[in-house]
Amino acid sequence: MKILENLNEKQREAVLKTEGPVMAIAGAGSGKTSVLTRRIAHLIFDKSIPYQNILAITFTNKAANEMKERVETLTGIYAKDMWISTFHSMCSRILRKHIEQLGYKKTFQIIDDQDTEQLIKSLLKKNNYDIKMFNPRQLKSLILKTKANPDYLEGIEEPVKSVVKEITSKYTNYLFESNLVDFDDLLLLTIRLFKENTQLKKYYNDLFKYVLVDEFQDTNNVQYTLVKELVGAHNNLFIVGDEDQSIYAFRGANIENINKFKKDFPDYHIILLEQNYRSTNVILQAANSVIKNNRSRIEKSLYSTKKDGEKITYYKGVTARDEVEYIATTIRKKVRKGYDYNDFAILYRSNATSRQFEEVFMQKQIPYRIKGNTSFFKRKEIKDFTAYLRFIINPNDVFSFMRIVRVPRRGIGQKTIEKLIDYAAENDLLLDEAINSSENCLSTRRSNKLKDFSHLIETFKEDLSNLSFNEFVDQVLDKSGYVTMLKKDDKGDVRYENLMEFKSYLAENETLYKKLDKEEMLVYILEDVSLKSEETAEDIEDAVSLMTLHSAKGLEFKEVFLVTVEMNMFPLGRSMSDPREIEEERRLMYVGMTRAKDKLYITNANMRQTWGETRHNLDSPFFLEIPKEYIEEEGYNKLISRSTQPKVNANSKRKTFLNKRKSNLDDYEENDLNKGDKVSHAKFGDGVVISIVGDQCVIAFKKPHGIKKLMKNHPSIKKK
């Protein structure tokens, strides 16, 4: 294969410009991996550079393996012998040879993030610190930042500052004495080696005559320092990046590293890779119109050799449910026309958004997979909270009791629980009876703690009857201590958002089951949750991809739905006061738009349940940055939105739209099925309804069909 074959002019320039510092600004879908691998092949074959003298660094094992495979195909050289790896793998390889110079043994072991957290927790306890006051997970983040930059300590307030200072020292000493290193040490110790041993530094500078760094916009300060240490006097540093796709500030990525590069290597050569091989011109021009509003960027404009393609479809629903139903219906129509489910991706800003999509897709039997996260109904905080609800309804539910009695911690240990369960079994007692008489098997102090918990659950049961679902949920989360626990968790914000989305789910169902009393209502809702949580999206070959915008980086799909594109949802409300955060949110919008190859949909809703309350959000300012000529409108916005219409006419059309939707919902309930009803099915024959959950029913049919989950208004089902 010819090395320069099928490359465009700018790509060829990036491959051939081998000497000195070079910065290739690679726009989305511009073929940067092809440029990197062809450049390596060119150095080996055309420049006669030994492969040992070339270092290529990237961020993930997946990206490193892809580069190795491509280089091996191009050169025929066994890629495992090459220096193509992640930052951490490269440093580990260097340290295995030289770490003894720092007093460690070559047999050092690497501990992961979970091990780090457990070690810090152990050190806190050993030094008599209350881990409820000084959360190990939060301390871990501060300790690692202090290790990387001792000056960081000065920005921490007391009393946390003193704890971080002490535990950082003890943690570092423990690792050294135990011949252990954490992930941060891999980089920091390599830098230390080079700074303390100039001869060793020169050896690696001479070895790595050409250094290539992928995804440079995602480097943090330590990684940038390491790259500078690796590059010798030859200055043959080739960086590939795109500040328009810098979306990992929360992980420490520093977009300013591109500016540092310009300052540290003033004779750099810049190449703009603007030709996109993924998307249509309409999608790219719209994306360009959005991202150009960011100030901290190198100006470029993506273009494609593909046709203009279809316009971007903008759909606004009356409600969030309309938005989800529209997407589900659109996907089903296209699948009937020959599309695969794999062709579609739904991208959202917040993990909690997946809930309604999962719910509707289950109902409509659309296969889906959640990328980079757990299915909504299987997330820990949702399972914890539903366990609370189950135990409130049934105080003898041992399984739910076991899950929640120590979440959050209440001074009730595992041995106490085991003694209680054994006592109940030996004396043939129900759980609540065992708790009420637990002084017979436990100390007074432990017995009282269990009785306090039981009393707390009783007050929740009263709240269920007397309060709205919104107020009831708030009471449970607050009085149980769950919210306080989340505040001490570095992932607490995301988990809290998921719980607030679950609160919205309960509020929706309160309307659906309004004829029932609260306890009956909760029984049906929990049954619905159980059915949903049983669904699995694992190992599905053909499925719609659901993921956050962060998870979508580096991926592409034939058709993309960019959803909840409205104020407070995307961008997030908390980002509005910080210009840097707004620019990062806009980069997320740009990344999302440029995942689409052939068709992009942007959707939102006129009103939605957010945290259990109905809110009317304005269209996202990012959407308003897209010129109208690239947009075609559908849904509620087509009646009301951008075009100026007389107010009376708009209200009249909205009323017609809502009436039509209500009529459809009325038709939807034509099968008035109840649990225990006998039915007949056109294909499966006679059966009995064993459960009704929302729009679905679970029916037990005779052999060989067995239990089936069906839409209850399906025309094939007839009530007998």
Q: What is the 3-state secondary structure (H, E, C) of 206-262?
A: HHCCEEEECCHHHCCHHHHHHHHHHCCCCCCEEEEECHHHCCCHHHCCCCCHHHHHH
* Sole residue written with tokens 């002084």: 439
Q: Under DSSP, is residue 159 helix (H, G, I), strand (E, B) or coil?
A: coil
Give the C-alpha separation, 351 to 371, whole Å.
10
The residue annotated as part of the active site, out of 446, 518, 587, 595, is 595
Please tell me which residue in 18, 33, 475, 645 is annotated as part of the active site. 33
- Cross-strand bridge partners of residue 208: none
Quote the CA–CA distance of 193 and 204 in Å, as a whole number.
11
Confirm whether 308 is a catalytic residue: no
> Which residues, 6 or more positions from 79, have their beta carbon under 8 angstroms from its beta carbon?
68, 69, 71, 72
Is residue 245 among the annotated active site residues? yes
Which of 10, 70, 116, 215 is flagged as catalytic? 215
Q: By CB neighbour count within 10 A (0-12 exposed, 13-18 middle, 19+ buried), where does 173 fall?
A: exposed
Backbone angles phi, psi at 158, to 5 degrees: -75, 150
CA distance linking residue 232 with residue 327, whole number of Å: 54
Residues in CB range of 336: below 8 A, 6 or more apart: none
d(CA 171, CA 188): 15
Whether the Cβ atoms of residue 220 and residue 254 lie closer than 8 Å to each other? yes
Q: Which residue from 564, 566, 527, 561 is spatially nearest to 545, judged by alpha carbons?
A: 561
Q: What tokens appear for 28 in the block?
A: 């989305």
DSSP 355-397: HHHHHHHHHTT--EEESSS--GGGSHHHHHHHHHHHHHH-TT-
Compute the distance between CA of residue 396 and CA of residue 390 in angstroms, rounded to an integer: 10
Beta bridge partner(s), residue 348:
548
Q: Comparing C-alpha atoms, which of 32, 65, 8 is closest to residue 244?
A: 32
Residue 300 annotated among the catalytic residues of the structure: no
The one catalytic residue among 182, 185, 214, 585: 214
Active site residue 297: no
Angle, vertex CA 555, rays to CA 550 and CA 557, nearest 5: 115
The whole-angstrom separation of Cα 244 and Cα 400 is: 47
**What's the CA gap between 552 and 555, in Å, rounded?**
6
249: its two tokens = 């500030």
Contact 40, 78 (CB under 8 A): no
Q: 426 in helix, strand or coil?
A: helix
Residues 320-344 as b or e (16 or more Cβ within 10 Å = b): bbbbbbbbbebbeebbeeeeebbbb
Nearest to 618 by CA among 602, 627, 607, 634: 607
Buried b or exposed e, range 100-139, using 16+ CB within 10 angstroms: eebebeeebeebeeeebbebbbebbeeeebebeebbbbbb
Distance CA 623, CA 619 (A): 7
The active-site residue, picked from 11, 116, 245, 313, is 245
Instruction: Report how far residue 666's alpha carbon sits from residue 199's, in angstroms, rounded to the nearest whole number.
Output: 81
Known catalytic membership, residue 609: no
Q: Provide the strand spans (E) within 636-684.
A: 678-681
| Catalytic status, residue 215 | yes
Q: Cβ atoms within 10 A of the Cβ of 259, count?
A: 13
Q: At what angle do helices 444-466 and 469-479 cross, to 10 degrees?
A: 160
Angstrom distance (rounded) from CA 510 to CA 646: 36
Contact assessment for residue 17 and residue 26, using Cβ atoms and an 8 Å cutoff: no
Active site (catalytic) residues: 32-33, 214-215, 245, 595
